């Protein structure tokens, strides 16, 4: 029940938030309206979004009240990210903004700075951003508010993530695909997501599907997703306050009741019907009803700036003045510019303020993982190329131990492919999470499971983001080609981390670890659509401070890299390796040393004996590494005096100049590997252009001749794939001879032999490719 005193508090807080929101959009001075508005108070350019803001503040005000009464820990995720001014106003009113940005405190000067900095060059964006206290969600690219919310509450039993879904965002595919989070949320162990579907009717310039559907259909849709639907509609005051307070209390009680049942042992295991609130308020609520004779409230015209021409338009200026004064600012702020006691009382104390929640600054809560000793998982490698095994299977065993040692803070996210990717050992430690019906024949599937499998890269990626931004650790494992499905999420998360770097108050969070497997080079029955190493191309464009790409060539390198990634903070780590049986090259000790350097000469594979070689064969990526070692082997057998150096690159960013990336090798280290002027034949896992751009600026970069994936593929063997893409051992031998500093005696015979091998392969492909030795048993044939 909302009594009158509390109603006064909530309403005052809401009016204050709305007042400051309008102020941010319009004013450069006179922020507290202590004197009549003049043209000079108006910003030269009006940029910002009013439409969604009053609804966001309304929900915020009531959530704060609920927190005051219940002590509930809650974070607020703003799907309509363009309601930035509302959330900035909220954190300023709660005092958090001034605590973080002392020059923008709760006084007249702070209020002035607050409105000036909004949507101004050198200031803050018009949407919720990394700079907004209390946010783990930007809402710039729409669609992810629910996946972030679900990720945030996993293993956070006492947390509720209140997630406002705008009706524009609700049209996006990622959002529509994320309602099903409740099918994976365990009420005993996880917290709760309370979605508020805020239907205000319009997006930028037209209506939305959900706002124009019959309400019964919307209700049915959400019920079909498994929710218990609560609805509040209107714009009447104080009626809306009373009704929304009631519904919010009902939703909270529903959540608590579900959780208490589950935690007291009286849960029958049926997936709960979690509450969702459908809130219908007019777009631009409390703003100008009409402007220049055209209706604005409740239409797309209130999306951004309802009064567009204030400067030089006395009528608009007067309307803005009336609008601002309609919130009765004189009741809300002291003469010194601080919110009055009534407003202050509307906010919960300390860390219960949603803008001050440590869950929304997850680095504060991050605890290191307990990681197993790598030596317990090392693969025995008596000599290079003598052992074959599925490298990712060893990673699965490592992750099993990580699960065991960290039952409250590590999860693996994978679209239905944990076993396919050879990571199935984790199921010894944890089942898959699943809250829908479990049947007797199911394997490794239960309510208690904490391995997250859902056939949606968007869900997996977004859950992991929410999980790490709230301070926990994880890994997203996916088929390489389909990592592009969530590439925009990878990039947006990278941008979040890039922006957070500049903010001392944001503590570093666990990294976003992405394992790409089932790669382009070995896809068996899958065809061309499954062959695309494109995500590398995208991650290398992000800032060096956060982007990392690792191409471990074998199991011991993979474990070393994984260990490093799991210890790291605030990075985006790509790890690329295939899942099929593959030759092993390095012992664990060698792998640790090799990965620490990022790249190194494999002396045993070459014959340059640390002298200047005739050619350098370099490689990054498992399949092409095998081809490179095989090429060196062929060259050594045929032309023993021809000096070949083999360089393997694990940490791709080591190739860049130190000024472009912190992992970039110093010039001297680079020359030690690649010399200053000898030609380099570089076999690369991804698109060749990636190497060309990374070595730009290195001495004589033109000498890097790169072979890689050039968009040739189909259902075929790895050997046929390297032939199709001209990156086979034979192509590398030919490249080496054609680019070497001298043409050794016997080169033409070897060239002819290579041509012949390739011609033979082409013939085999026609009818019985599987009978060709390189294909049937592609172990390296050593002399």
Question: Looking only at residues 383 through 422 of this chain, which bind a copy of itself when binding is defined by CB under 8 A?
Answer: 416-420
Give the separation between CA 159 and CA 193, rounded to whole angstroms: 9
Q: Minimum CB separation from a copy of itself for residue 593, in Å?
A: 30
Instruction: Give the separation between CA 351 and CA 345, rounded to whole angstroms.
Output: 15
Kindly state the smallest distance separating residue 417's Cβ from a copy of itself, in Å.
Answer: 6
Least Å distance, CB 246 to a copy of itself, is 25
Provide the token pair at 319: 């309307």
Cα–Cα dist 583/554, whole Å: 7
Q: How far is the CB of 365 from a copy of itself (least distance, A)?
A: 24
Could you tell me the two tokens for 222?
């959400």
Site string for a copy of itself, 293-312 (x = CB under 8 A): --x---x-------------
Strands 599-601 and 644-649, sheet pairing: antiparallel
The whole-angstrom separation of Cα 535 and Cα 480 is 8
**Min dist. Cβ of residue 529 to a copy of itself (A):** 3
Position among 88, 89, 93, 769 found at the interface with a copy of itself (CB under 8 A): 769
DSSP-derived secondary structure letter, 380: P
Q: Which of 34, 71, 220, 328 binds a copy of itself (CB under 8 A)?
A: 220
Pick from 289, 293, 285, 261: nearest CA to 274: 261
| Contact call for residues 550 and 577 (beta carbons, < 8 A) | no
Say if CB 25 and CB 306 are below 8 A apart: no
Burial classification of residue 693, based on how many CB atoms lie within 10 Å of its CB (0-12 exposed, 13-18 middle, 19 or more buried) = middle
* Helix, strand, coil shares, percent, the chain, to 5: 45, 15, 40
Secondary structure class of 473 (helix, strand, coil): strand
- Hey, which residues between 430 and 449 contact a copy of itself (CB under 8 A)? 432, 434, 436-439, 441-445
Exactly one of 71, 239, 527, 662 binds a copy of itself (CB under 8 A); which one? Answer: 527
By CB under 8 A, the residues from 588 to 627 that bind a copy of itself are: none
Q: Which stretch binds a copy of itself (CB under 8 A): 40-48, 337-345, 467-475, 629-637?
A: 40-48
Interface residue with a copy of itself among 543, 597, 657, 741 (CB under 8 A) is 543
Residues 65-104: x/- map of binding to a copy of itself (CB under 8 A)? ----------------x-----------------------
Backbone angles phi, psi at 673, to 5 degrees: -85, -50
C-alpha span between 8 and 755 (Å, rounded): 86
Cβ closest to a copy of itself, residue 140 vs residue 358 = 140
For a copy of itself, the closer of residues 232 and 769 by Cβ is: 769
Tell me, by CB under 8 A, how many residues bind a copy of itself.
Answer: 129
SS3 for 241? helix
Range 317-376, binding a copy of itself (CB under 8 A): none
Contact between 194 and 162 (Cβ < 8 Å): yes
Taking the complex as a whole, the smallest distance from the CB of residue 539 to a copy of itself amounts, in Å, to 10
Q: Give the whole-angstrom CA distance, residue 475 versus residue 343.
A: 43
**503-527 CB burial, b ≥16 within 10 A, e <16:** eeebbebbbbbbbbbbbbbbbeeee
Query: At its nearest, how many Å lie between a copy of itself and the CB of residue 618?
Result: 16
Looking only at residues 162 through 181 of this chain, which bind a copy of itself when binding is defined by CB under 8 A?
168-169, 171-180
Closest approach, Cβ 84 to a copy of itself, in A, equals: 9
Does 275 help bind a copy of itself (rule: CB under 8 A)?
Answer: no
Neighbours of 287 (CB within 10 A): 23
Which spans in 603-706 are helix H? Answer: 622-638, 667-674, 688-694
Give whichever of 487 and 507 is closer to a copy of itself, judged by the CB atom. Answer: 487
Residues 704-733 that bind a copy of itself (CB under 8 A): 710-711, 714-717, 720
- Nearer of residues 254 and 298 to a copy of itself, judged by Cβ: 298
| CB nearer to a copy of itself: pick between 385 and 734 | 734
298-331 burial: b if 16+ Cβ within 10 Å, else e: bbbbbbbbbbeebbebeebbebbbebbeebebee
Applying CB under 8 A, the span of 192-200, 215-223, 231-239, 274-282 interacting with a copy of itself comes to 215-223
Residue 1 or 294 with smaller CB distance to a copy of itself? 294
Residue 442 or 589: the one with the smaller Cβ distance to a copy of itself is 442
Q: How far is the CB of 440 from a copy of itself (least distance, A)?
A: 10
Report the C-alpha gap between 114 and 108 in whole angstroms. 10
Q: Find the binder of a copy of itself among 186, 208, 379, 391 (CB under 8 A).
A: 208
Member of 5, 45, 253, 260 binding a copy of itself (CB under 8 A) = 45
Site for a copy of itself in 176-205 (CB under 8 A): 176-180, 183, 203-205
Which one, 139 or 600, has the nearer CB to a copy of itself? 139
CB of residue 323 to a copy of itself, shortest distance in Å: 20
DSSP readout, 423-471? -GGGGGT--EE--S---TT-SSEETT--BEE-S-HHHHHHHHHHHHHTT
Structure-token pair, residue 446: 């239960």
- H or E segment at 640? none
* Residue 55 CA: distances (Å) to CA of 14, 21, 43: 10, 12, 24
Give min distance, CB of 689 to a copy of itself, in A: 3
Mark the segment that binds a copy of itself (CB under 8 A) among 44-52, 361-369, 373-381, 593-601: 44-52
Q: How far is the CB of 208 from a copy of itself (least distance, A)?
A: 7
Nearer to a copy of itself, 123 or 358 (CB): 123
Nearer to a copy of itself, 49 or 353 (CB): 49
The binding track of 460-489 with respect to a copy of itself, each residue x by CB under 8 A or -, is ---------------------xx-xx-xx-
**Which residue is listed with tokens 């593929």?**
713
> Nearer Cβ to a copy of itself, position 668 or 766?
766
Residues 100 to 139 in contact with a copy of itself, rule: CB under 8 A: 119-127, 129, 138
- Using CB under 8 A as the binding rule, the residues of this chain from 636 to 665 that contact a copy of itself are none
Cβ-count burial 710-724 (b if 16+ within 10 Å, e if not)? eebbeebbbbbbbbb
Shortest CB 716 distance to a copy of itself, Å: 4
Give the residue with the Cβ less far from a copy of itself, 326 or 419: 419
């Amino acid at each position: 029940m909302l009594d009158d005193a509390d109603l006064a508090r909530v309403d005052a807080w809401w009016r204050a938030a709305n007042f400051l929101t309008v102020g941010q959009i319009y004013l450069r001075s006179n922020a507290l309206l202590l004197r009549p508005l003049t043209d000079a108070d108006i910003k030269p350019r009006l940029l910002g979004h009013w439409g969604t803001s009053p609804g966001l503040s309304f929900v915020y005000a009531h959530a704060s009240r609920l927190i005051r009464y219940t002590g509930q820990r809650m974070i607020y995720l703003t799907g309509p990210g363009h309601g930035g001014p509302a959330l900035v106003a909220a954190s300023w009113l709660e005092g958090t903004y001034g605590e973080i940005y002392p020059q923008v405190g709760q006084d007249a000067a702070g209020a002035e700075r607050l409105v000036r900095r909004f949507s101004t060059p050198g200031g803050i964006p018009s949407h919720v951003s990394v700079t907004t206290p209390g946010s783990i969600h930007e809402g710039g690219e729409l669609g992810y508010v629910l996946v972030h919310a679900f990720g945030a509450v996993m293993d956070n039993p006492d947390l509720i993530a209140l997630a406002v879904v705008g009706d524009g965002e609700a049209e996006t595919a990622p959002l529509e695909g994320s309602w099903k989070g409740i099918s994976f949320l365990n009420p005993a162990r996880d917290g709760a997501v309370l979605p508020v579907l805020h239907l205000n009717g319009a997006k930028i310039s037209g209506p939305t599907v959900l706002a124009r559907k019959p309400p019964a259909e919307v209700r049915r849709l959400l019920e079909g997703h498994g929710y218990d639907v609560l609805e509040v509609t209107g714009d009447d005051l104080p009626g809306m306050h009373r009704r929304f307070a009631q519904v919010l209390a009902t939703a909270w009680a529903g959540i608590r009741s579900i959780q208490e049942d589950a935690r007291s042992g009286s849960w029958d295991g049926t997936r709960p019907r979690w509450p969702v609130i459908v809130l219908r308020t007019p777009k631009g609520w409390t703003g100008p009803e009409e402007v220049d004779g055209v209706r604005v409230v409740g239409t797309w015209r209130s999306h951004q700036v309802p009064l567009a021409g204030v400067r030089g338009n006395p009528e608009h200026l007067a309307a803005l003045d009336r609008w601002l004064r309609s919130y009765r600012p004189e009741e809300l702020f002291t003469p010194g510019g601080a919110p009055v006691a009534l407003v202050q009382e509307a906010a919960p104390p300390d860390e219960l303020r949603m803008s001050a929640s440590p869950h929304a600054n997850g680095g504060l809560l991050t605890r290191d993982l307990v990681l197993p000793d790598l030596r317990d998982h090392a693969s025995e490698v008596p000599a290079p190329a003598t052992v074959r095994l599925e490298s990712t299977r060893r990673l699965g065993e490592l992750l099993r131990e990580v699960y065991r040692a960290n039952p409250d803070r590590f999860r693996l996210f994978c679209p239905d492919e944990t076993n396919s990717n050879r990571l199935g050992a984790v199921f010894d430690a944890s089942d898959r999470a699943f809250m829908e019906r479990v049947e007797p024949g199911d394997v490794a599937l239960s309510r208690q499971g904490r391995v997250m499998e859902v056939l949606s890269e968007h869900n997996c990626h977004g859950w992991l983001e929410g999980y790490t931004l709230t301070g926990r650790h994880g890994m997203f494992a996916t088929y390489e080609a389909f990592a592009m499905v969530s590439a925009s999420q990878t990039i947006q998360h990278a941008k979040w981390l890039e922006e957070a770097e500049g903010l001392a108050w944001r503590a570093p969070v666990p990294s976003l670890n992405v394992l790409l497997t089932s790669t382009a080079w070995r896809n068996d029955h899958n065809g061309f659509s499954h062959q695309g190493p494109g995500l590398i191309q995208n991650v290398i464009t992000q800032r060096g401070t956060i982007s990392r790409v690792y191409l471990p060539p074998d199991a011991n390198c993979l474990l070393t890299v994984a260990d490093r990634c799991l210890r790291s903070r605030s990075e985006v780590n790509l790890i690329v390796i295939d899942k099929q049986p593959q030759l092993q090259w390095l012992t664990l000790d060698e792998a640790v040393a090799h990965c620490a350097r990022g790249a190194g000469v494999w002396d045993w594979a070459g014959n340059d004996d640390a002298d200047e070689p005739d050619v350098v064969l370099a490689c990054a990526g498992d399949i092409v590494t095998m081809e490179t070692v095989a090429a060196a082997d062929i060259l050594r057998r045929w032309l023993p005096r021809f000096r070949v150096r083999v360089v393997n690159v694990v940490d791709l960013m080591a190739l860049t100049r130190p000024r472009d990336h912190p992992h970039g090798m110093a010039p001297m280290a680079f020359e030690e590997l690649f010399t200053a002027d000898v030609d380099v034949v570089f076999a690369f896992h991804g698109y060749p252009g990636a190497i060309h751009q990374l070595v730009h600026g290195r001495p004589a970069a033109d000498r890097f001749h790169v072979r890689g994936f050039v968009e040739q593929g189909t259902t075929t063997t790895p050997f046929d794939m390297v032939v199709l893409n001209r990156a086979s051992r034979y192509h590398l031998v030919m490249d080496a001879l054609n680019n070497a500093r001298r043409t050794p005696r016997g080169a033409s015979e070897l060239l002819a032999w290579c041509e012949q091998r390739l011609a033979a392969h082409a013939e085999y492909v026609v009818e019985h490719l599987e009978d060709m030795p390189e294909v049937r048993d592609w172990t390296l044939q050593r002399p």
